[in-house]
Amino acid sequence: MRIAYVPNGPLWAERDATLAARLVTEMTVLARSLGVNGLIVQPSEIWDDLDAELALHHFGRAPIDVATTSTIVVDLAPDLDELLAGLRSSRRRNIRRAERLGATFRVGDAGDLETFHRLHSATAARQGFTPLSLDYLRRQWAVLGRRDLLKVFLVDLEGQTVAGATATCFGDTVIYKLAGWDSSGDSAAARPNDLLHWQIIEWAHENGFSHYDMGGFERVAASRMLAGEEMPEEFRSTPAQFKLGFGGTPVVRPLSSWALSPRVLRFVQPMVPALAEGRGRLGRFVSGLRSG
């Protein structure tokens, strides 16, 4: 079965019901022309007209999301002093500590991809996820880096690169994508990730961007915070808590939906989310689409 996916898309300049209908029709026609059996769509914003059109074309809840369903966004409109003051005191303290220990920030280039990949792979091994391959990173750079749309940000300590992140530049937003860091000894004690994110904020601000999107964030926590509720206790020692320390605001985004073709396959569609809840073969297959 061939599956295509549209993360954070389609894109639109204005909201119009006729445009929504055309977008969905064109996507499904293109998918069929390419011999695609399943199409997963996950827009970056909630748009009722688009949701209605997807439903008319037999799209239902997909077994997996192909983009983040919630995030933390830092508004870069204030000046740097205000942005720094908006950080939690623990983040500011860790930034000062990193600087005092001699950690420095730099913007990398294609020659740093292998170093970043080493850190990314080590982090993946610690946290139990599959890292993107070095070949994939190089292909990303070949397409986006040469257009100045992909950045590699790094922190060095005592002559060694100890933390890094990749980010994409889209419109007025810098979007954090991948991370990697050395968790051993002096590197961990220097808190390089605090310095890394602050310096990305500073870089984005100085280069005219309006927002820093910090990537994935627990949807349950984001929804509760937007409703004025306390963040669940189980999230207080997770990356969610870390990202909140940089003064951003939670944003909840749409879940993914998908449709199967030809029609004879559609009878299995309602059963797939339940089948993919565990770590079955289908769940692993669709998950692999995001890192292939």
Q: Each residue of 74-100: pLDDT tens digit?
A: 999 999 999 999 999 999 999 999 999
The closest alpha carbon to 132, from 116, 148, 109, belongs to 116
pLDDT of residue 30: 94
Non-local (6+) Cβ contacts of 81 within 8 A are none
Q: What's the predicted TM-score (pTM) here?
A: 0.85
Length of the chain equals 292
CA 92 remoteness from chain centre: 24
**Predicted confidence (pLDDT) per residue in 172-208, tens digit:** 999 999 999 998 878 889 999 999 999 999 999 999 9
Is the confidence at residue 156, as pLDDT, over 90? yes
Report the 10 Å Cβ neighbour count for 107.
13
Residues of the chain with CATH 3.40.630.30: 77-218
Angle between helices 48-56 and 17-33 in degrees, nearest 10: 40
CA 226 remoteness from chain centre: 20
> What are the DSSP E strand ranges found in 3-93?
3-7, 38-42, 60-61, 70-75
Name the fold adopted by 77-218: Aminopeptidase (3.40.630)
Is the confidence at residue 278, as pLDDT, over 50? no
Give the SS3 label for residue 62.
Answer: coil
pLDDT band at 246 (very low <50, low <70, confident <90, very high): very high
